[in-house]
Amino acid sequence: MNKFKSIKKQLKFCIQSMEASSSLFVVDPERDFTRRRKYLFGNTMMNVLLLEAGSLKDELFGLFGYTLDVPSVSSFVQARDKIRPDAFCTLFKRFNEKTHAPVLHKGFRLLAIDGSVLPVSNAMQDKETTVLKQNHTDVPFSAYHINTSYDLLEHTYDDVLIQGQAQMNENGAFNHMVDGYHGPKAIFIGNRNYESFNSFVKVEKSKNKFLIRVKDIHSKTSVLRSLGPFEDKEFDVRVKRILTYKQTKEIKEHPEIYKFVPRNQRFEYFGDGPYFEFECRVVRFKISDDTYESIVTNLDEDEFSLEEIKELYRMRWGIETAYRKIKYDLDLNTLHSKKRNLIQQEIYAKLLLYNFCRRITREVEIKEKKRKYEYQLNFVRAYHIIRHFLKEKSRKIPLHIESMIAKEILPIRRNRQNQRKVKPKLPVSFNYRYD
């Protein structure tokens, strides 16, 4: 059995098991998908997964063929509207459980945490997604904030939390994903958006590790101002502080011992007393002649050197490129509805489809040949091949799918002087008549 067939079987199993208890995932359990019609629960979920960048009518022709029996756009939208967005979240998580194969680095999974903004139509403004741009015109801006944890070694999304832009809270999302993680030991890697004592302790209490970039020592809002002073050079030091919400004379006179945490700043771990002993490792290294990066971590010095810390944070860029692929290559920027619940469906669907493709491509080996450059798989081409065969209704899946993917390769040109300029695309809603 080829890898594609195996992964597809697992996906279908997840959908079928949810279909057997579809009343748990629909808006109206008494009516929705209770009669046998053209659109069934499982078929509708699979069709949402397979949406590409065309208009809905073109997509339906692609899914059902150019026949007189092709369902109307309105019927498809109505069928989608019966399924709650959390159904696709459940499918995403079940599929991950069935197909995940952990890849470890020194016994740890490497999980990057980050968020990305997905603009949506302003035609339907609400308190969750719509904010007013801070300018003279107060123009409304509607968007979802997609928070994810991304496995940097398996190259797949591990968890996701969707927030409306008006209610966006990246630190809260970070804490939520740490609380919800129950896999092998992990290193949570984050950028400066997750600079928080509460986040540091949250990961420590979960028996995992964190590696979070913070604002540099010259920033007035950096946590390092209360952990220093530090010399303006590279360093790798261990720091201890007693966190407290009290403001006594002793505390004010000994900043080298105490760190004041105001009551309005989230910190969950004082318990019955006003003190909490905090310890961390602070690493600072050069990235250019006059630029430094600062990292706060609980990784042991004996196990992870300064250079390894630097390399681990560099690997975090993998989640940035993954967001770019899912928006532009997997067509997430091309939305097929203005309705908020249907948009959330598409977000979960694209994340699942991305993982589906990654778990197939990671098994594909490129034949070694004498070439000028090192080569990698063309993920975009691989994705189109995989999606094409996912659409096939025939049970006869060709055995050469992985071989086809292996032929689609691109050279790796490291340290390019003239970087390719990627022009961002705005989201497009094709379903402008069916809201």
Q: Which domains does the chain have, with CATH numbers?
A: 3-89+344-429 (no CATH), 102-320 (3.90.350)
Grade residue 417 by pLDDT with cuts at 50, 70 and 90: low
Strand partners, 120: none
Give the span between the Cα atoms of 303 and 336, in whole angstroms: 48
The predicted-structure confidence for 150-199, as pLDDT tens digits, reads as follows 999 999 999 999 999 999 999 999 999 999 999 999 999 999 999 999 99
Lowest-pLDDT choice from 4-8, 40-44, 133-137, 362-366: 133-137
Query: Regarding predicted confidence, which is higher, 43 or 412?
Result: 43
Give the span between the Cα atoms of 13 and 5, in whole angstroms: 12
Question: 10 Å Cβ neighbour count for 119?
Answer: 15
Strand partners, 334: 428
The predicted-structure confidence for 219-241, as pLDDT tens digits, reads as follows 999 999 999 899 999 999 999 99
Query: Regarding predicted confidence, which is higher, 214 or 263?
Result: 214
Q: Is the per-residue pLDDT at 95 higher than 80?
A: yes
Going 47 to 50 to 56 to 61, the CA torsion angle's sign is negative
Give the span between the Cα atoms of 63 and 85, in whole angstroms: 21
- What are 161's two structure tokens? 């939390």
How far, in Å, are 182, 221, 248, 316, 384 from residue 209 at the CA level?
Answer: 13, 24, 33, 15, 37
Q: Is the per-residue pLDDT at 427 higher than 70?
A: no
Q: Is the per-residue pLDDT at 428 higher than 70?
A: no
Contact indicator for 340, 128 with CB cutoff of 8 Å: yes
Give the CA radius of gyration of the chain: 24
pLDDT value at position 426?
64
Going 356 to 357 to 359 to 363, the CA torsion angle's sign is positive
Task: Compute the mean pLDDT over every residue in the chain, rounded to the nearest whole number.
Answer: 89
Question: Beta strands of 108-252 (E only): which ranges?
Answer: 109-119, 130-132, 140-151, 156-164, 186-190, 209-214, 235-244
Q: Is the per-residue pLDDT at 421 higher than 70?
A: no
Give the span between the Cα atoms of 19 and 333, in whole angstroms: 28
Grade residue 425 by pLDDT with cuts at 50, 70 and 90: low
Give the span between the Cα atoms of 94 and 15, in whole angstroms: 9
Q: What is the mean pLDDT of residues 118-147?
A: 87
Q: How are the residues of the chain apportioned to helix, strand and coil, as percentages rounded to the nearest 5?
A: 35, 20, 40
Of the chain, the percentage scoring pLDDT greater than 70 comes to: 90
Q: What is the mean pLDDT of residues 41-48?
A: 94
Q: Is the per-residue pLDDT at 112 higher than 90?
A: yes
The predicted-structure confidence for 328-375, as pLDDT tens digits, reads as follows 999 999 999 999 999 999 999 999 999 999 999 888 877 776 667 777
Contact indicator for 247, 167 with CB cutoff of 8 Å: no
pLDDT value at position 376?
79
